């Protein structure tokens, strides 16, 4: 009789394990291939290369296997405000203090510079690569989106949005996904624009901290937890993905199957997204 109850109990545990895999043993694990030293920033390009900003404001590019590949050294333009690696052949490094955008190729060599003041563009607070490999910028004075070419030519100017507000001392993230742009700041609603710079709506995910990835879903961090928000089915597909109490600077792996972040020891960790579905 005892053996029968044991078998039943064991089968019940197996069923629960199969049906609810995210309830058991799903933790962040240390990545085998680690960049050198303690990591204090992290960006990942679509090819899986990793980029880290050093204390000296150098940008170091690592291969997916953790080996140093190339580096860009420049400590004369102040603190780096934005590093956009959405196109690994056109990396954007924005220096807000001097309103300068440096464009790097895949070997981390300069392929161009934009001095926004020379083109009559107001105070720029954020930049991002566009889907057509031009550049989106956010003008702080008008709170408007502007698209420029790599030669600085203005291709499109969105309408000013004086009713929207930006936090002066908080980072701004711009993501283009298809026909929409998402502008976000910590503790603020995400602002959605179309590709002509027209404001569409707000998405209030507070206490929003920062976006992990925006596609058909927004993965984002809040209260030491990664959440998933379905842009197409927001009322029925909103869920917790995993906890991240000791992990920050979270990015999505290019294959979309795992999250990669930096743990409290400054090492890369990963969480398998497929295991939590």
In this structure, the chain runs to a length of 277
**Residue 211: C-alpha distances to residues 78, 100, 101 (Å):** 25, 25, 23
The architecture CATH gives domain 28-67+206-277? Single Sheet (2.20)
- Fold category of 76-204 in CATH: Neuraminidase (2.120.10)
pLDDT, residue 221, reads: 93
Mean pLDDT by 10 residues, the chain (277 residues): 45 40 66 84 94 92 92 94 95 96 98 91 92 94 91 92 82 92 93 94 90 87 93 83 93 90 93 72
- By the 10 Å C-beta count (0-12 exposed, 13-18 middle, 19+ buried), 41 is classed as middle
pLDDT, residue 24, reads: 39
Instruction: Spell out the domain ranges in the chain.
Output: 28-67+206-277, 76-204
Annotate 103-154 with DSSP letters as a single string: EE-TTS-EEEEEEGGGGT---EEEEEE-TTS-EEEEETTTTEEEEE-TT--E
């Amino acid at each position: 009789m005892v053996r029968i109850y044991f078998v039943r109990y064991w089968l019940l545990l197996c069923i629960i394990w199969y049906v609810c895999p995210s309830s058991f043993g799903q933790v962040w694990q240390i990545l085998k291939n680690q960049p050198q030293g303690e990591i204090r920033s992290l960006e990942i390009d679509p090819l899986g290369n990793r980029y880290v900003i050093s204390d000296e404001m150098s940008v170091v590019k690592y291969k997916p296997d953790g080996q140093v590949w190339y580096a860009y050294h420049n400590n004369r333009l102040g603190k780096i405000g934005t590093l956009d690696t959405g196109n690994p052949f056109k990396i954007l490094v924005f220096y807000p203090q001097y309103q300068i955008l440096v464009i790097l190729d895949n070997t981390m060599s300069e392929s161009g510079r934009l001095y926004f003041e020379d083109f009559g563009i107001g105070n720029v607070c954020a930049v991002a690569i566009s889907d057509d490999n031009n550049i989106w910028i956010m003008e702080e004075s008008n709170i408007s989106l502007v698209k420029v070419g790599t030669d600085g030519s203005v291709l499109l100017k969105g309408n000013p949005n004086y009713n929207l507000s930006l936090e002066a001392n908080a980072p701004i993230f711009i993501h283009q996904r298809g026909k929409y742009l998402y502008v976000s700041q910590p503790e603020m609603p995400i602002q959605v624009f179309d590709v002509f710079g027209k404001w569409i709506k707000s998405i209030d995910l507070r206490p929003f901290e920062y976006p992990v990835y925006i596609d058909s879903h927004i993965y984002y961090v809040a209260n030491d937890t990664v959440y998933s928000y379905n842009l197409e089915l927001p009322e029925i597909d909103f869920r917790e993905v995993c906890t991240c109490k000791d992990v920050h600077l979270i990015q999505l792996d290019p294959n979309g199957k795992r999250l990669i972040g930096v743990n409290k020891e400054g090492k890369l960790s990963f969480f398998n997204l497929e295991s939590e579905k």
